[in-house]
Amino acid sequence: MTNDKNEFWQQNNFRLEPWANNYDSPIDIEELALSESEVDPTVETADWTKFSRERSRSGCFAASQLTLPERLIFIDGRRRIDATLIGGSGNTIAYGAFGTIAVGAVLVDRTTSTATCSQFHIRRIIGFGGNQEAPETIVPCPLGTQAQLIYEPVDPYVENNPNVPKNLVQNTMLKTEALLAAQQFTFNPDTLIIRDGRLPYNSLNFTVGYVKTMHKNYLSEKYAALLWELNPGERTPIFLIKEHNRPHWSWYLKSGHAQTSSARFGYHNLHGVVRLELSSDVPLTTAQTIADQTAHLIPEYASHPYKDPRAPQNLTPVGALERELGRRMGDAILIKRRVQNFLASVGVLP
């Protein structure tokens, strides 16, 4: 069986792409541009003023009325291209990659003030574009050890372009995150799942997507002006984004603490503003409760600048999870070297 798998590499002229594998970009805010998605900013209220943590719009003291969940589950993933491939049989060209993804969860029990990282899923994958099937590939480690890197094949892409390697690992990570969210999902009303990043179109109800970057402004200038006025713990009204296949509720809030305010550090007023998403299958009244809960909870778990350069947007439990996932993924340079040695051993590299 091993010889059959090696024949794939010998019969297909794949080569390593010399460009760096690290495609992760730093957190940044691009120039705001109104998206083409249809947006209804008046679903919660036509009075576009901010909701504060201290008082609801009715003037009642919100903290005494709002029930906060006893348990939170934060879900996040990391992905890495271990080696990019380009080649194929004959004159055809296919793009592909060896990749590693890691997904996990942090369970926060607010009744005991404890947080536990668990449910780790570490996967090594191989895939190609151009409908090129990939074989399971076992990359041995040095002599004297029994360890090996097993790269499982993923479904090939119909598309075949330089973005295929990035898309392969990204989409596999998102699917693994969705599976983990489904495992963690419970009908217990005291549990809230917060998933780092945008929600896919088929996300479970009561899973909140946490978007740290602002690549699009879904609001016209009339409504977007409120974002500049938000203080930590304050949110905008809920608006409806009517994207094809994934309509969802959304709202902006400002994370952080008074000690890490934008003015204190000389940052622009959008610093610390994040966007949250929730399936529109959730009733609006329930979405309002969840939005109010996030206005209390997100600042509570915001990171500090002296610990995380992405503060306050990057949440402290997520930052701890990211570090543990990175450790479990293994050393990127060493793993790439193992892949290179394997390809050389089967005659792909000189």
Q: What is the pLDDT of residues 305-339, one digit of tens each?
A: 767 777 788 898 999 999 999 999 999 999 999 99
pLDDT at 35: 59
- Give yes or no for residue 189 having a pLDDT over 70: no
Helix (H, G, I), strand (E, B) or coil at 177: helix
pLDDT for 84-118, tens place per residue? 999 877 777 899 999 999 999 999 999 999 999 98
Lowest-confidence range among 200-204, 208-212, 287-291? 200-204
Query: What's the per-residue H, E or C state across 21-52?
Result: CCCCCCCCCCCCCECCCCEECCCCCCCCCCEC
The confidence band for 350, taking pLDDT boundaries of 50, 70 and 90, is low
Give the C-alpha separation, 170 to 244, whole Å: 21
- Give yes or no for residue 30 having a pLDDT over 50: no
Give the pair of three-digit tokens for residue 196.
């780092």
The confidence band for 25, taking pLDDT boundaries of 50, 70 and 90, is very low
**Which helix (H) or strand (E) is 297 found in, with range?**
helix 284-300
Helix (H, G, I), strand (E, B) or coil at 184: helix
Closest CA to 119 of 65, 179, 198, 49: 179
Give the C-alpha separation, 50 to 223, whole Å: 11
- Give yes or no for residue 205 having a pLDDT over 90: no
Give the C-alpha separation, 10 to 13, whole Å: 7
Give the pair of three-digit tokens for residue 190.
């005291």
Q: Residue 103's beta-bridge partner residues?
A: 77, 121
Q: Residue 274's beta-bridge partner residues?
A: 253
